[in-house]
Amino acid sequence: MDLTAAARRLPGGRSAVVLVGGTIGTAFRAALEAAFPAQPGGWPWATFLINLSGAFLLGLLLETLSRRGPDVGVRQYLRLGVGTGVMGGYTTYSTFAVETVRLLEHGAVLAALGYAVASVLLGLAGALGGMLLAGRLVRRATP
Amino acid sequence: MIAFLVALAGGLGAVARFHSDAAIARLHNLRMPVGTLTINTAGSVLLGLLTGWLTFKAGAPDWVSVAGTGFCGGFTTFSTACVEGVRLLRAGRPVASLVHAAGGLLAGLLAAGLGLWLMSL
């Protein structure tokens, strides 16, 4: 992995992979939000599914990486680029929070409560599911 | 062009999150991961202000989606908050996990509401 070795020597190599990953993740989220915009007072499906899928994928990624060995070299760059960058940019807390408050403003109190609680609980379940799946699929590297 | 700027602003938001999280971790010695929660709360105030700007002030200028969908979206993260909550659970700390999840939610909603309300004044 010459590319990774080169990136490691550069100052700001870590920031660079987070930047590239975050740009890619945000592009995906923005495209999905534009294709499936939330209706006023309606359930914000795009953000909901983005956040749940991202929580699952991040759990899967981080557990896989930690099973493969210590957080150095290629593994650290994958964690920062794909985890902190792509998954961090893909999922969003601020849009989730503003959408919930807007549902409240529309008087859709039950939908707001449901959206908030379902996102948090299913997000936790998704992250746990991703970790457990990695635990079954990925063999622990022998030190 | 706007789509590219939105994506790039998201990348810059992610870099800001990466460095803020590290800086916050150096500032405290709590047994709770508060970096992501702090970042999510700050980003929610900012997105509340921007959304309020769109609602109560004029038009829908492109820089609002660059700053909102792009920067705020990339700065805040849902996936890391979930993974941190699950890690607390798996470390045998269910109360800490509940405080983390519920506290993060409450702080985020209050922050977004505050931002929206300030723009309505």
Q: Which ipTM did the prediction report?
A: 0.95
* CA atoms of A13 and A26, how far apart (whole Å): 20
* CA atoms of B83 and B9, how far apart (whole Å): 24
The residue among A48, A72, A66, A67 whose CA lies nearest residue A126 is: A48
CB-CB under 8 Å, B86 with A58:
no
pLDDT at B79 over 80: yes
Residues whose CB falls within 8 Å of the CB of residue A72, separated by 6 or more in sequence, listed in order:
none
* pLDDT reported for residue A11: 61
List the single range of A38-42, A48-52, A76-80, B104-108 with lowest mean pLDDT: A38-42
* pLDDT tens column, A86-97: 999 999 999 999
Residues whose CB falls within 8 Å of the CB of residue B32, separated by 6 or more in sequence, listed in order:
B88, B96, B99, B100
* CA atoms of B27 and A68, how far apart (whole Å): 31
The residue ranges of every structural domain in chain A are 47-143
Using 50, 70 and 90 to split pLDDT, how confident is the model at B95? very high
Q: Which residues in chain B are contacts of A88 at CB distance < 8 A?
A: 14, 17, 74, 77, 79-80
* pLDDT reported for residue B8: 97
pLDDT at A1 over 60: no
CB-CB under 8 Å, A87 with B86:
no
Quote the tokens at residue A8: 């490691």
CB B9 within 8 A of CB B70: yes
More confident residue, B63 or A142: B63
Residues whose CB falls within 8 Å of the CB of residue A135, separated by 6 or more in sequence, listed in order:
A63, A67
Average pLDDT on B98-114 reads 97
Q: Which of A90, A92, A127 sits opposite B83 (nearest CB)?
A: A127
Question: Minimal Cα–Cα distance from A2 to chain B, Å?
Answer: 24
pLDDT at A108 over 80: yes
* pLDDT tens column, B41-71: 999 999 999 999 988 876 778 889 999 999 9
* pLDDT reported for residue A59: 98
CB-CB under 8 Å, A119 with B10:
no
* CA atoms of A140 and A61, how far apart (whole Å): 14
Average pLDDT on A43-60 reads 98
* pLDDT reported for residue A21: 98
Using 50, 70 and 90 to split pLDDT, how confident is the model at A23? very high
Nearest CA in chain B to A58: B79
Average pLDDT on A77-89 reads 97
* pLDDT reported for residue A4: 59
* pLDDT reported for residue A140: 86
**pLDDT above 70 covers what percent of chain A?**
92
* pLDDT reported for residue A7: 55
Using 50, 70 and 90 to split pLDDT, how confident is the model at B1? confident
* CA atoms of A56 and A14, how far apart (whole Å): 24
Chain B contact probe: residue of A52, A94, A99, A102 with most B CBs at under 10 A: A94
- C-alpha to C-alpha distances, B77 to A22, B22, B93, B120, nearest whole angstrom: 11, 15, 22, 26
Three-state secondary-structure class, residue A112? helix
Residues constituting chain A: 143
Q: For residue A24, give the H/E element and its range.
A: helix A13-35
* pLDDT reported for residue B62: 86
Average pLDDT on B83-92 reads 96
